[in-house]
């Protein structure tokens, strides 16, 4: 950004878990930071993820509404906790890969807690493949979680903005999926 005369420090509006790939929103200046922070708080930014969960999830779609808090027995883990913060994950099964004992799910977050998708799917007995922190299989070298799409209305122009994030893993984790079709 400095090459075109702007002297700014971009700030990320949200974060991805370590080893999660995909789209992240940045603001170029303090005004946009404040606007995007408020939009995120008001759930005006829709974030869509793809995940491969261990096992076959029979329910075609659903909502996981379980509060998440720190795990007092582990420095980085989170867990479902009655005293935790509200966390809501909506999911839709896209494919059941019975030959690999995996389920491809699309997830949309109402909230954005640390490790939210990972904790929620582990709590329902389907941890993400490759997620050693939450008892997932060792199918992949990292948790199979990708922030595939982000949507919001531009705060000034009112234009609908849709950002897609292509897959970068080599070897690939997500096969035969076009991120632009999600």
17 noted as active-site residue: yes
Extract the tokens encoding 33. Answer: 């930071």
17, 37, 101, 110: the catalytic one is 17
Structure tokens at 69: 């808090």
3-class SS letters over 41-99: HCCCCEEEEEEEEECCCCCCEEEEECCEEECCCCCCCEEECCCCECCEEEEEEEEEECC
In whole angstroms, give the CA distance from residue 115 to residue 81. Answer: 13
Q: What CA–CA distance (Å, rounded) separates 66 from 86?
A: 7
CA distance 95 to 78: 27
Helix (H, G, I), strand (E, B) or coil at 174: coil
Active-site residues, by number, are 17
């Amino acid at each position: 950004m400095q090459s075109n005369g702007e002297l700014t420090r971009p700030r990320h509006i949200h974060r991805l878990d370590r080893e999660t790939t995909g789209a992240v929103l940045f603001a170029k200046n303090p005004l946009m930071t404040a606007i995007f922070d408020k939009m995120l708080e008001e759930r005006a930014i829709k974030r869509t993820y793809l995940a491969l969960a261990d096992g076959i999830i029979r329910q075609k779609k659903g909502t996981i509404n379980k509060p998440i808090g720190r795990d007092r027995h582990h420095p980085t883990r989170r867990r479902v906790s009655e005293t935790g913060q509200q966390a809501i994950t909506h999911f839709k099964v896209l494919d059941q890969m019975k030959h690999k004992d995996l389920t491809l799910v699309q997830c949309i977050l109402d909230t954005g807690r640390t490790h939210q998708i990972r904790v929620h799917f582990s709590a329902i007995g389907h941890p993400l493949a490759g997620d050693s922190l939450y008892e997932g299989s060792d199918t992949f070298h990292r948790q199979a979680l990708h922030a595939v799409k982000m949507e919001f209305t531009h705060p000034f122009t009112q234009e609908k903005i849709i950002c897609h994030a292509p897959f970068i893993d080599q070897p690939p984790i997500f096969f035969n999926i076009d991120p632009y079709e999600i």
